[in-house]
Structure 1
């Protein structure tokens, strides 16, 4: 049963304790097929463009998938930018794990 509404995701983002996320991630509305979970988190990267998004794998499934937005050009980074991108990806991985944990908790308690 779909449950990850924008309002719930905004709550979860606010509770996510990593302050480095401020301004990088936001819950969004998106059109979803009937029977799918509408959850969507957009993460805008500073060290790579354009963005990536996190969304549930399927209705009632606690797993989340990360999708990178399309690129028109090759991404060329120096060591400093690459280290910054690695830090952003690590933060996104922690957020994804957090969302999976919250989804498991929600499924267990509702």
Structure 2
């Protein structure tokens, strides 16, 4: 899928950051391991409010334009006070907006409007 190249994803992340989301600075594009050596990427970051790593990747269904956030497993519990929960809610809101943004960009690409 050409809309998953690392260069395309980097452009989309740059465009998303330009929208002004406070937490978008934590996002980075990383190469995705693939069996066919294609230039696909993922979006990864480490949350600031809790030490959890996540990545954002497209759905695996053929023709799907949806994107999902996968949180890496934690080895220990992460108790959070109210201020950190509030900060986490902002980061999660940004991730939700990012997935919607990426879905719209992927659909535009498939529709020939990219």
Match 2:30 to one of 25, 28, 31: 28
By how many angstroms is 1:57 displaced? 0.7
> Which structure 1 residue ranges, 4+ long, deviate > 4 Å from structure 2?
none
Query: Is the Cα–Cα contact under 8 Å of residues 24 and 94 in structure 2 kept in the other structure?
Result: no
Matching of residue 84 in structure 1 with residue 84 in structure 2:
no
Gaps of 5+ in 1: none
8 A contact 2:56–2:67 mirrored in 1: yes
- CA-atom RMSD, angstroms? 2.2
* TM-score calculated relative to the size of structure 2: 0.85
Separation (CA, whole Å) in 2 of partners of 1:65 and 1:33:
21
Q: 1:45 & 1:100 partners in 2: Cα distance? A: 22
TM-score of the superposed pair, with normalisation by structure 1: 0.88
CA contact (8 A) 2:3 2:9 kept: no
Cα distance in 2 between the residues matched to 1:92 and 1:26: 13
Aligned to 2:15: 15
Offset at residue 2 of structure 1 (A): 4.6
Aligned residues: 110
Distance 1:39 1:60, change over 3 A: farther
SS at match of 1:55: strand
**2:104 partner SS:** helix
